[in-house]
Amino acid sequence: MNSVRPSAQGQRIALLNARLLDPSSKLDQPGALLIENRQIADFGPGLFNEGTAEDVMVVDCAGHCLIPGLVDIRAHLREPGAEHKENLSTASKAAAAGGITSVVCMPNTDPVIDQIALIEFIARRARETSAVKVYPAAAITKNLHGKELTEIGLLLEAGAVAFSDADRAVADSLVMRRALAYAHTFDALIMQHPEDPTLSTGVMNDGEMATRLGLMGIPNIAETIIVERDIRLMELTGARYHVSHLSTKETVDVVRSAKARGLPITAAVAAHHFALNENAVADYRTFAKVSPPLRAEPDRVAMVSGLADDAIDVIVSDHAPHDQDSKRVPFAQAANGIVGLETMFPLALEIYHNGEIGLLELLAKMTVNPAKLVGLDAGEIKIGAAADLVMFDLNAPWQIKIDKLRSKSRNAPYDGRPVQGRVLKTWINGRIAFDIDIED
């Protein structure tokens, strides 16, 4: 497949002339990096000043950025059960092209990932078919019904990296209290989809646009009310807690003030919530229908400022592939979701290019922060770490074309959007998983 020979055990690859960027160590300087035994063997400004040995394969980075592979802790990969929308193989190609080397998949599959056998199934399928590393999040409650807890301890031992009811909130306060209290025993991470189901029977953001379109709205408080309640339950149980993706200004404020009180709360934002506002659904564009809904412009701005001041810790793709039949229907009937594995990184770079956030600070939200949150040894450039690396051109302008997306589904509202910054090569365990010279 690739003209570059995969690095066999023992093969050494030298990445020369790179701008090395590592958010965890605040490294940002020109230098080189050596991959050996699929790991990062050495790196730094002085490396290879004396030249490279004969048996070392050389890649000239031409001054482009070299960063740890991105870690996306929220993606819906649809396997098992909805392979007509996506599977681990197609998703992994999209992820690698988007600079993502580790993905946490959501448990809203069919069957639901709520038992050990499914965790093992995902691990095996990922090993056999996926180019990127896939880690399952298990359900908090059986069958995502919000009633009975799953075997949190056993699932954790089997390899679940976090717990989430995917696109549903744990709405029942008693169940949530028990989930947090029990998970705390194992230091398991509960990731809440923050949306009160009784307040979110609508199909888009509540407000003037919904009123004009004649669509039922989902108010901002549907989100805030759940997060505020959960913060009280955190205080009661001592558990850590993660808002899997937030969309409103009020929720950012609530998370920020809980952090100021020292609570172990973290929050993520999906790329579409800082890249788009509710205007994207005008004319009933179902590709922009997502949960939680795209909000008003002040909310979008609050996402950016929340990222800048660290109220928001993580950026996720919330990759949610859907086939045409799920989207080519009246708006109220359309499925929620946007594909995002390939677009998360360029959309995030918009915030950097707009001068809202530093490059290392932005990269931290897609590397070391999410990796630490779910306990992965990833997202850092350090000696001995797996050689999961991304080389990208920080300034290259290009246009997103949805018919070029590698995901099996192409439900993205970004067609023709100009972006700046492009992934050139992705290595996973020292092997090329994406190379723009070969694929484009």
Residues near other proteins (CB under 8 A) are: 201, 206-208, 210-217, 219, 283-284, 325, 328-333
The SS3 of residue 71 is: strand
Nearest to 336 by CA among 286, 270, 290, 277: 290
Rounded to an integer, what distance in angstroms lies between the CA atom of residue 357 and that of residue 351? 6
The SS3 of residue 104 is: strand
Q: Which is nearer to other proteins, 208 or 440 (CB)?
A: 208
Indicate the pairing of strand 27-36 with strand 70-75. unpaired
Rounded to an integer, what distance in angstroms lies between the CA atom of residue 358 and that of residue 374? 24
Token reading at 37 = 């035994």
Q: Which is nearer to other proteins, 256 or 327 (CB)?
A: 327
What is the closest distance, in whole angstroms, from the C-beta atom of residue 58 to other proteins in the complex? Answer: 53
What is the closest distance, in whole angstroms, from the C-beta atom of residue 284 to other proteins in the complex? Answer: 3
Nearest to 56 by CA among 65, 68, 47: 47
Q: How far is CA 278 from CA 21, 213, 436, in A?
A: 34, 12, 33
What is the closest distance, in whole angstroms, from the C-beta atom of residue 221 to other proteins in the complex? Answer: 12
Which of 196, 313, 318, 393 is catalytic? The answer is 318
Q: Which is nearer to other proteins, 207 or 375 (CB)?
A: 207
What is the closest distance, in whole angstroms, from the C-beta atom of residue 344 to other proteins in the complex? Answer: 28
Indicate the pairing of strand 265-270 with strand 314-316. parallel
Q: Are 190 and 163 in contact (CB under 8 A)?
A: yes
The SS3 of residue 434 is: strand
318 is annotated as an active-site residue = yes
Q: Which is nearer to other proteins, 121 or 284 (CB)?
A: 284
What is the closest distance, in whole angstroms, from the C-beta atom of residue 292 to other proteins in the complex? Answer: 16
What is the closest distance, in whole angstroms, from the C-beta atom of residue 404 to other proteins in the complex? Answer: 24
Rounded to an integer, what distance in angstroms lies between the CA atom of residue 236 and that of residue 204? 33
Nearest to 128 by CA among 77, 83, 89, 85: 89
Q: Which is nearer to other proteins, 212 or 261 (CB)?
A: 212
Q: Which is nearer to other proteins, 156 or 203 (CB)?
A: 203
Indicate which residues carry an active-site annotation. 318
